[in-house]
């Protein structure tokens, strides 16, 4: 029995010796297997983070990391900030068919916080700051004629002298909620009827 036990110990020790001294380590293998060098030395490619790689992106898709593509025009960080967006892309924006996610703030709440100071409670442009910044009325025929995507882009990027609010209203469903609330203000204030017989 002792001989069997001694043989097992010697064999086991020899096995350990073989394992630690004969089996190459990953560092040693790196130079023996040709594709290891290539994998370690090659530069990582991040196709969705590089602008120099052409991409054919179907309209309406969401990037892999979530969020939206960018259609900003102008430089909001300039000494005199310029706010704007590509109107063609803006008009192609489609309202999502999914309901707002849990925890989303209402369009009325967001409007009262971010919009009413200039555009007023009813959207006519008579907020406390409105006269000082020449806030435009959201109830004019021009504003009513804007597409939902255009209104959404105004909320996200700003327009002319109006600053962007996309950095404050970060969630996409909340921006659309603001658009819906503006539409409800427009519906609650129908345009006055044109005078009969036209103008004199």
- Does a structural domain hold residue 180? yes
pLDDT value of position 23: 65
Phi, psi of 159 (to 5 degrees): -160, 130
- How would you write the pLDDT of the chain (200 residues) with one tens digit per residue? 666 665 665 555 555 555 556 666 666 666 666 555 555 555 555 555 555 555 565 555 555 555 567 777 776 666 666 677 888 888 888 888 888 778 888 999 999 999 999 999 999 999 999 888 888 899 999 999 999 999 999 999 888 778 888 888 888 889 999 999 999 999 998 876 545 554 44
- Does a structural domain hold residue 80? yes
pLDDT value of position 120: 93
Which residue shows structure tokens 């609330």?
Answer: 181
Phi, psi of 177 (to 5 degrees): -65, -35
- Does a structural domain hold residue 87? yes
Radius of gyration of the chain (CA): 32
**51, 44 contact by CB (below 8 A):** no
The residue segments making up the domain with residue 132 are: 72-95+104-188
pLDDT value of position 157: 87
- Does a structural domain hold residue 166? yes
- Does a structural domain hold residue 25? no
Total residues found in the chain within this entry: 200
**89, 145 contact by CB (below 8 A):** no
Number of separate domains in the chain: 1
- Does a structural domain hold residue 5? no
- Does a structural domain hold residue 54? no
Question: Nearest CA to 175 among 88, 81, 85, 47?
Answer: 85
Which residue shows structure tokens 């806030």?
Answer: 135
pLDDT value of position 198: 46
- Does a structural domain hold residue 131? yes
49 vs 26: CA distance, rounded Å: 32
**Residues 6+ away with beta carbon under 8 Å from 109:** none
Domain CATH for 128: 1.10.760.10
């Amino acid at each position: 029995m002792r001989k069997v036990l001694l043989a097992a110990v010697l064999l086991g020790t020899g096995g350990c010796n073989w394992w630690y001294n004969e089996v190459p380590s990953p560092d040693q293998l790196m130079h023996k297997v040709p594709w290891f060098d290539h994998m370690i030395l090659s530069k990582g490619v991040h196709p969705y983070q590089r602008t120099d790689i052409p991409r054919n992106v179907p309209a309406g898709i969401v990037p892999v990391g979530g969020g939206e593509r960018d259609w900003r025009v102008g430089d909001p960080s300039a000494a005199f900030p310029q706010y704007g967006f590509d109107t063609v892309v803006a008009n192609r924006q489609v309202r999502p068919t999914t309901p707002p996610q849990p925890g989303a703030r209402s369009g009325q709440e967001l409007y009262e916080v971010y919009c009413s100071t200039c555009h007023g409670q009813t959207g006519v442009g008579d907020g406390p700051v409105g006269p000082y910044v020449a806030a435009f009325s959201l109830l004019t025929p021009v504003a009513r004629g804007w597409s939902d995507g255009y209104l959404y882009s105004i909320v996200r990027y700003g327009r002319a002298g109006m600053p962007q609010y996309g950095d404050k209203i970060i969630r996409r469903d909340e921006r659309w909620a603001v658009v819906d609330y503006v539409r409800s203000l427009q519906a609650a204030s129908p345009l006055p009827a044109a005078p009969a017989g036209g103008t004199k």
